[in-house]
């Protein structure tokens, strides 16, 4: 089983915190669509005929595309890859792009899951982040999606920013829970280098983020979501039973995936490669590979440690022994002992799992456990 990711590199405006590859100019959108439709058949053999269980249109802002463009992309995928019956087909959408007409067209094209970039239900937060939508649109788009028959919904929320005190963060989360949103992706606001947010903070035009506030709000989030019956199945992701993201879960399980579009990454189980992160060069030569890396056994092991530790299933020492050898598994268990004693990791049924407090330190712990 495999997945396909398509990177749509256009946005209406640049969010202050974003460091993804995108352009705010739509002048070459038609050229990009043509290039993407050329790349699809060029990469048909990458997944070696494996059944495609998930398709994810991300970006950027895929909802900026015309409905017929989305339909043509999905039709092209169906013509070249064995999409399974019941494949999860996700479209990332911004609230300001969602209309009743578009929702109907997306469903007609085969989209059956929406991931909506809400970020906050409060106007002050949205303005601070330089989001294109308004607080009323953040609410109304969810109603519209439901009325159009989209029950499989996810929304993004951001916490830890200087405009978001704990009480407002709680209101954001409780509103999502009250709306019955089946899947939430919640991210701590990160100040990435060379973003507008980074520049504004260094110029003292905006307040910096507080790691202490972020840690506290993450702990509160875990408590609220657990109380509402959500499964905290990955560090940043929460789902009601039966509503995990199948596409993202495949990443965390180490399954194969093909990335299409500029800057998109691909993984075939042995090597990782990524397309050039340049729209003009991609349009001139669709599928141009920017770089390829054949992974060593140690790199594959470290990736397994990093990814598995972020999930609720944790690191399975038996799987480690099968894939990388008994000695590696025993060594990891010994090195993890200090975190077990410190209360950051617990050992259950042959698995190493982060505790509530350990999840605050996930990246650091994984890095320390690397071979």
Residue range 177-199, pLDDT digits in tens? 999 999 999 999 887 777 666 67
Measured at the CA of 204, the angle between CA 201 and CA 207, to 5 degrees, comes to 60
Residue range 239-263, pLDDT digits in tens? 999 999 999 999 999 999 999 999 9
Q: Which helix (H) or strand (E) holds 187?
A: strand 183-188
CATH topology of domain 297-371: Arc Repressor Mutant, subunit A (1.10.10)
Are both 2-251 and 297-371 of the same fold? no
**Rounded average pLDDT over 336-348:** 97
Whether 264 contacts 11, CB under 8 Å: no
Domain boundaries, the chain: 2-251, 297-371
- Strand boundaries in 229-304, DSSP class E: 231-234, 237-239, 256-260, 265-267, 271-275, 289-294
Cis bond before residue 60 (omega within 30° of 0):
yes
Residue range 84-104, pLDDT digits in tens? 999 999 999 999 999 999 999
Output the CA torsion sign for 370, 191, 65, 42: negative
CATH superfamily ID and name for 2-251: Aldolase class I (3.20.20.70)
What value does the CA radius of gyration of the chain take, rounded to a whole number of Å?
Answer: 21
């Amino acid at each position: 089983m495999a997945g396909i990711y398509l990177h749509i590199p256009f946005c209406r405006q640049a969010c202050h915190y974003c460091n993804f590859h995108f352009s705010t100019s739509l002048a070459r959108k038609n050229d990009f669509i043509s290039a993407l439709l050329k790349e699809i058949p060029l990469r048909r053999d990458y997944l070696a005929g494996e059944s495609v269980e998930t398709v994810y249109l991300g970006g950027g802002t895929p909802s900026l595309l015309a409905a017929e463009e989305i339909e043509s992309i999905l039709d092209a995928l169906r013509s070249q890859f064995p999409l399974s019956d019941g494949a999860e087909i996700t479209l990332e959408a911004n609230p300001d792009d969602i209309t009743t007409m578009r929702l109907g067209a997306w469903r007609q094209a085969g989209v059956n899951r929406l991931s909506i970039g809400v970020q906050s239900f409060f106007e002050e937060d949205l303005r601070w982040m330089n989001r294109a939508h308004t607080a009323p649109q953040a609410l109304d788009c969810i109603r519209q999606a439901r009325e159009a028959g989209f029950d499989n919904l996810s929304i993004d929320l951001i916490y830890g920013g200087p405009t978001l005190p704990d009480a407002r963060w709680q209101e954001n989360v409780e509103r999502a829970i009250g709306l019955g949103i089946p899947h939430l992706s919640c991210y701590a606001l990160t100040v990435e280098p060379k973003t507008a947010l980074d520049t504004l903070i260094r110029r003292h035009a905006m307040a910096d983020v507080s790691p202490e506030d972020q840690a506290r709000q993450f702990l509160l989030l875990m408590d609220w979501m657990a109380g509402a019956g959500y499964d905290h199945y990955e560090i940043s992701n929460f789902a009601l039973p039966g509503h995990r993201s199948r596409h993202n879960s495949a990443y965390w399980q180490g399954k194969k995936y093909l990335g299409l579009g500029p800057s998109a990454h691909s993984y075939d189980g042995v090597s990782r490669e990524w397309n050039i992160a340049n729209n003009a060069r991609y349009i001139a030569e669709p599928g141009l590979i920017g770089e390829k890396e054949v992974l060593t056994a140690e790199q594959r092991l470290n990736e397994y440690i990093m990814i598995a530790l972020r999930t609720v299933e944790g690191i399975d020492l038996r799987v480690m022994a099968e894939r990388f050898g008994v000695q590696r598994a025993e060594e990891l268990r010994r090195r993890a002992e200090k975190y077990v004693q410190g209360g950051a990791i617990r050992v259950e049924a042959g698995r190493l799992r982060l505790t509530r407090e350990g999840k605050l330190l996930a990246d650091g712990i994984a890095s320390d456990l690397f071979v």
